[in-house]
A and B are shown apart, each in its own frame.
Chain A
Amino acid sequence: MAATTATPTSAGAGTTGAGAARLRSRRTWSADRPRRSTLMTVLTALVLVYALVPLVWLLINATKTQSDLFSTFGLWFGHSFALGSNVADTLTYDHSIFLRWFANTLLYVILGAGGATLLAVLGGYGLAKFRFPGKRAVFAVIIGAVAVPGTALAVPTFLMFSKLGLTNTPWAVIIPSLISPFGLYLMWTFASEAIPTELLEAARMDGASELRTFAQICLPMLAPGIVTVLLFTMVATWNNYFLPLIMLKNPDWYPLTIGLNSWNKQAATAGGEAIFNLVITGSVLTILPLIVAFLLLQRYWQSGLAAGSVKE
């Protein structure tokens, strides 16, 4: 999405840009180093509080026993600090099914998001750097398909997969995850910018095969874009709810999202044990890996997003 953004920039740039060049030496403050504004910081901090309070709530409540959950104030710690026992209970409850769900999620993410990224990188590179018959049709079909609601596809996909005997297997979750139109779009704009066509010409002149040119010359140049697409497809598969919900009946194949929701629903069923403390602790354990990945890789994906939106 960010990729489409910059096109209109140049229209306004032509008229005022000349003035800037003429008067550059008179610059005093602003532009590069504007004055800090306390008022603006405070106002933006309101949005920051809105974004973080639920996460703080979740962390604090992961330290509470179930009775403290019901009896103590939500945004402060309870009588006992039960984080350790909550984590242990979450991991061992119902024959350690949480660990099974965790492993399933990892499987879906590695094969689904990894495969989606691979396909998007290959496809985006092909679209950006080759002319081939039917290319315009490919654009039209993909752009049209992005507007189709994913859930509109769910029922027919389910019926097709059940005829193929794929429902209730990991493939039912992995195969549909392999397509990321947004990933393809991002890689296509990114590859157009990041790889100079002259370089490809030079490699071909030297007799390098197309595959070798791609693997050895282009792949390293595409790295920030690849990390960006990988992170976003990872989020999409890690957070996937609707697809596994309809495809999987057997709890042994659930990903974390469906598993947590089934724990939560358990309290509402007749005779079901309420395990809200495990739902909350499990939620913390579910979001932790993604948040850590985003924080550790922020330099890459932020430059990937920014570069994806540079199009002059």
Chain B
Amino acid sequence: MSQALPATAVATVRPARRRRTSSGRRWTGWGFVGPFMVVFALVFLAPIVYSIYLSLYRQQLVGGNSFVGLANYTHAFGDPLFWEGVGRVALFLAVQVPIMLGVALLVALAVDSGRLYGRNFFRISIFMPYAVPAVVATLMWGFMYGTRFGLIANINDALGTHLPNPLSPSWVLASIGNIVTWEFVGYNMLIFYSALRTIPGTLYEAAEIDGAGQWRIVRAIKLPAIRGALVIATIFSIIGSFQLFNEPSILKSLAPNAITTNYTPNLYAYSLSFSGQQYNYSATVAIIMGVITMIVAYVVQLRGMRKEA
């Protein structure tokens, strides 16, 4: 992430005034950034430090809190309940994210191409689900999936088909994937679209005069130009997948048999804390997930940026 410092302007203007203001102004920036950083330290940095501390201790029935070194970590590395959840979100990531970003990219290209009738309507309508809370989205889709007054039941009744129950254990992950895709496809589309709008129109004219077809323009101009947006959207989707919590947690009341308490690592950490009171182990699980997320996000960023060179 590059940042254009206003270096040129600072260098060119007035050597005379510099003496008077330089020492005072040097710290002025902190006056603006300071408030953010104070709250940031309170709600971001302090909890991180505190959870590292927690992960090194264990609450015992006798003797209270005792230092156990990395014992919580070794326990987590051998914990099948934890790895089951990790495997599930990894599968989710591998299937759902490419589908969602692929559809988002195609729609963004279509809207940007100017070949749609009523493209503003398309853009705003497809974005709209982003404004719907995860709770409402999940309840809504959950009802539609449901056998009681769901659309699936309606379709089965009307056509005499036997569509699989979306809330059964073997289908529920796909059903969650569909909810997440629905929520975020328009948001990602808008990010890609905003990036596409920054490409100068003269480039397309030149390409067309050189005889390039539409697909060649997409491949040679548009996709390379929005690589930054693609990488960022991928990273945020990876973070979102590893953090998967809201949808399975809410869907649990509609599909209690299909979604276990360790369905995703975050759901596991949540149940450990708030139904099991195992705060130390819960913090350990959260830290391991955080580290895994950062490593994957970092690798994606490195790969994405290297191709650019």
Chain A residues in the interface with B (C-beta under 8 A): 1-2, 4-9, 11-13, 16-17, 19-21, 23-24, 26-27, 30-38, 40-41, 43-45, 47-48, 50-52, 54-55, 57-58, 61, 69-70, 73-75, 119-120, 122-123, 125-135, 138-139, 141-145, 147-160, 175-176, 178-179, 184, 188, 192, 197-198, 201, 204-205, 210, 214, 235, 238-239, 241-242, 245-246, 256-258, 260-261, 264-265, 268, 276, 279-280, 283, 286-287, 290-291, 293-295, 298, 305-306, 308-311
Contacts and interface: CB of A to CB of B under 8 A. Distances in A.
17 contacts: A6-B228, A16-B207, A17-B200, A30-B205, A48-B125, A50-B182, A51-B186, A52-B128, A54-B129, A61-B149, A119-B39, A147-B297, A205-B14, A239-B133, A280-B143, A295-B124, A309-B197
B29 interface: yes
Contacts of B150: 74
A258 B246 CA distance: 11
Contacts of A51: 125-126, 128-129, 182, 185-186
A69 B205 contact: no
B224 A74 contact: no
Interface stretch (B61-69, B73-81, B114-122): B114-122
B203 A12 contact: yes
A74 B43 contact: no
B191 interface: yes
Contact of B200 (A13, A30, A147, A238): A13
Contact of B54 (A33, A159, A205, A265): A159
A55 B254 CA distance: 19
B225 interface: yes
B292 to A, nearest CB: 9
A123 B224 contact: no
Contact of B111 (A19, A44, A149, A286): A44
B6 A155 contact: no
A73 B154 contact: yes
B28 A132 contact: yes
B151 A30 contact: no
For the complex of A and B, 4 pairs with smallest distance between CB atoms:
A126-B32, A130-B29, A132-B29, A5-B195
Nearest to B274: A246
Contact of A31 (B110, B132, B201, B246): B201
Interface string B170-181: 000000000000
B229 A1 contact: yes
Contacts of A148: 44, 48, 290, 293-294
A290 to B, nearest CB: 4
Interface in B94-120: 103, 107, 110-111, 113-118
Given A20-B203, A158-B273, A7 B228 contact: yes
A305 B182 CA distance: 21
A20 B228 contact: no
Contacts of A258: 135
Nearest to B229: A5
B228 A8 contact: yes
A5 B274 contact: no
B36 A47 contact: no
B43 A23 contact: no
B1 interface: yes
B136 A287 contact: yes
Given A149-B286, A201-B9, A257 B133 contact: yes
B144 interface: yes
Contacts of A23: 205-206, 209
Given A20-B209, A36-B115, A261-B250, A122 B149 contact: no
Contacts of A12: 203, 220-221, 224-225
Nearest to A304: B194
Given A70-B148, A152-B48, 15 more contacts: A2-B194, A5-B195, A6-B225, A36-B117, A40-B113, A123-B36, A145-B45, A154-B270, A179-B36, A197-B6, A204-B21, A241-B134, A241-B250, A276-B149, A306-B194
Interface in B191-220: 191, 194-195, 197-210, 220
B245 interface: yes
B246 A241 contact: yes
A309 B135 CA distance: 30
Interface string B275-309: 00001001100110110011001100000000010
Contacts of B1: 4, 143
A101 to B, nearest CB: 12
A135 B7 CA distance: 14
B93 to A, nearest CB: 13
B49 to A, nearest CB: 8
A192 B141 CA distance: 42
A54 B5 contact: no
A50 B28 CA distance: 50
Given A12-B203, A19-B206, A48-B122, A2 B114 contact: no
Given A50-B182, A69-B149, A149-B289, A178 B43 contact: yes
A244 B149 CA distance: 30
B15 interface: no
